[in-house]
Structure 1
Amino acid sequence: MALLSSPLKEQVEDLMDLSNQEYDKGDYIKSIKLLEEAWTKLPQPKVIYDDSYHIVKYIIETYLFINDAKHAKEWSNIMFICDLERADSGEREFLVGKVAYELENLDDAKEFFFIADKKSEGRCFEDEDTKYLKFFKS
């Protein structure tokens, strides 16, 4: 895992904190914009930094929250190459499966959920909308 140098790390963390504040206020678009700004601050190759995973995850989750799966999809491929040293419990596949489900790409969603279910030993469905588990079990 590559770590950001001190002033840059603080800038990225500040942008992520501001994004959280905007999210809490209900300004989801501004929250996403701040996350995208944090993404642009990461040096190349961006995906080697642990922050890359969190930034992309939060962007996707926020787009899904506002029912914009199309834009979430634009970030979902990046999810699979961010912070590859991170423990793999199926979180990536589950999140991308949710995007596929919302876009009605049901074969892809089932495949991603299957992988996530195996990696997480079923835990990936905990604390999630039950529609995903119902779909997976169907």
Structure 2
Amino acid sequence: MYILKSPVKEEFESLLDKSNEQFNNGNHHDSILLLEEAWDLIPEPKGIYSEESYHLVKDIIATYFIINDFKKAKEWTDKIFLTGFARIDSGEKEFISGKVAFELGELEIAKEFFNIANNKSEGRCFGSPKSTKYLKFFKS
């Protein structure tokens, strides 16, 4: 497993701290800008830095969900597949991509992603109470 090295690691963590502060103050756009800046610090191929790359993109997408900017979230779901190469594949990337597709009204794509996520996770991807509407859609 690869980890970020100094001084990149310190700069990366500083940006995450600043992003968290902005997020906690309700400045979601500023939080995202800082996260995107942190993304640019991760060397290529970004996916070998499994924990940093995956969690960063997941946080960016989640914040875009909060501000209901699903088009920007979609841009990042394309990138989530370039992250977390060493992570156990439990369908989480597909589930996130399915949620974004659903919110954009791309229902056939959403259903495909949910099907993959459901198979990989053996149904666990729909376990959160926040996932109820996606499960209802998937089962319809």
State the TM-score, normalizing by the size of structure 2: 0.92
Identity of aligned residues (%): 58
Number of paired residues? 138
Counterpart of 2:79?
A: 78
Measure, in 2, the Cα distance between the counterparts of 1:14 and 1:87.
27
Deviation per residue, 1:44-63 (Å, 9 max, x gap): 22232121111111111111
Alignment partners' CA distance in 1, 2:136 and 2:121? 17
**Distance in 1 of aligned mates of 2:41 and 2:82:** 18
1:43 corresponds to: 43
State the distance in 2 between where 1:12 and 1:102 align. 30
Q: Offset at 1:7?
A: 2.2
Root-mean-square deviation (CA, aligned residues, Å) is 1.2
Task: Name the amino acid aligned to 2:101.
Answer: A
Tell me which residue corresponds to 1:66. 67
Equivalence for 2:18: 18
Structure 1 CA distance, aligned partners of 2:13 and 2:96? 23
Match of 1:88 in 2: 89
Unaligned runs of 5+ in 2: none
Select between 45-54 and 108-117 the one with higher mean Cα deviation: 45-54
- Give structure 1 stretches of 5+ with no counterpart: none
3-state secondary structure, aligned to 1:6: coil
- Give TM-score scaled by structure 1 length: 0.93
